[in-house]
């Protein structure tokens, strides 16, 4: 199957098909830059009404941060960071957990990411999820700080 066909499956209503496409693309992203040409499409996925689709875009944008230019990264980072307070806490948690990968590949993003994490207001989530998201934020901030001081 061509990469473009696999990318098209990311929005499939069948979650199993879409998840398999995500796995294939994520693995290919680890191997080389071929998937990075689809970064604009992954960026568009962030606008989906479906949280699963947004999450797939988040994961693939983070996985391809190493293959794109800092200029291209600057274009998608503000919209990406909006999802640290995604209406769906599971999507927010996925976004937060992907941030160290971006900082590892592009350390120049650290100040913007740290600032965004420090400004998060958790009041939109149920109390049980507020605690989990807050823990994720603290863990990611520690990880970023550790990676920056290396």
Q: Which of 39, 53, 51, 74 is nearest to 10 (CA)?
A: 53
- In the structure encoding, which two tokens stand for residue 133, read together? 């998201």
Q: Distance between alpha carbon 143 and the CA centroid of its chain, in Å?
A: 16
State the fold for domain 3-148: 1.25.10
Whole-number Å distance between alpha carbons of 44 and 85:
18
- Whole-structure pTM value: 0.94
3-state DSSP percent of the chain in helix, strand and coil, to 5: 80, 0, 20
Q: Which band of pLDDT confidence, cut at 50, 70 and 90, is reported for residue 150? A: low
pLDDT tens digits along 24-34: 999 999 999 99
Cα→Cα distances 36→6, 61, 112, Å: 13, 8, 22
Task: Give me the percent of the chain exceeding a pLDDT of 90.
Answer: 91
Whole-number Å distance between alpha carbons of 90 and 128:
12
Sort residue 106 into left (φ over 0), alpha (ψ -120 to 50) or beta: beta
Neighbouring residues of 84: CB distance < 8 A, sequence distance ≥ 6: 92, 95, 96, 99, 116, 117, 120, 137
pLDDT tens digits along 106-147: 999 999 999 999 999 999 999 999 999 999 999 999 999 987
């Amino acid at each position: 199957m061509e990469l473009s066909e696999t990318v098209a499956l990311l929005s499939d209503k069948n979650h199993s098909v879409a998840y398999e496409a995500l796995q294939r693309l994520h693995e290919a992203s680890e191997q080389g830059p071929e998937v990075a040409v689809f970064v604009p499409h992954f960026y568009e996925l962030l606008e989906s009404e479906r949280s699963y689709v947004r999450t797939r875009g988040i994961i693939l944008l983070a996985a391809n941060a190493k293959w794109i230019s800092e200029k291209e990264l600057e274009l998608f980072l503000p919209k990406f960071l909006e999802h640290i307070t995604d209406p769906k806490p599971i999507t927010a948690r996925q976004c937060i957990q992907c941030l160290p990968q971006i900082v590892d590949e592009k350390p120049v993003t650290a100040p913007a990411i740290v600032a965004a994490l420090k400004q998060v207001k958790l009041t939109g989530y149920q109390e049980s999820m507020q605690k989990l998201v807050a823990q994720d934020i603290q863990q990611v901030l520690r990880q970023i700080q550790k990676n920056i001081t290396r």
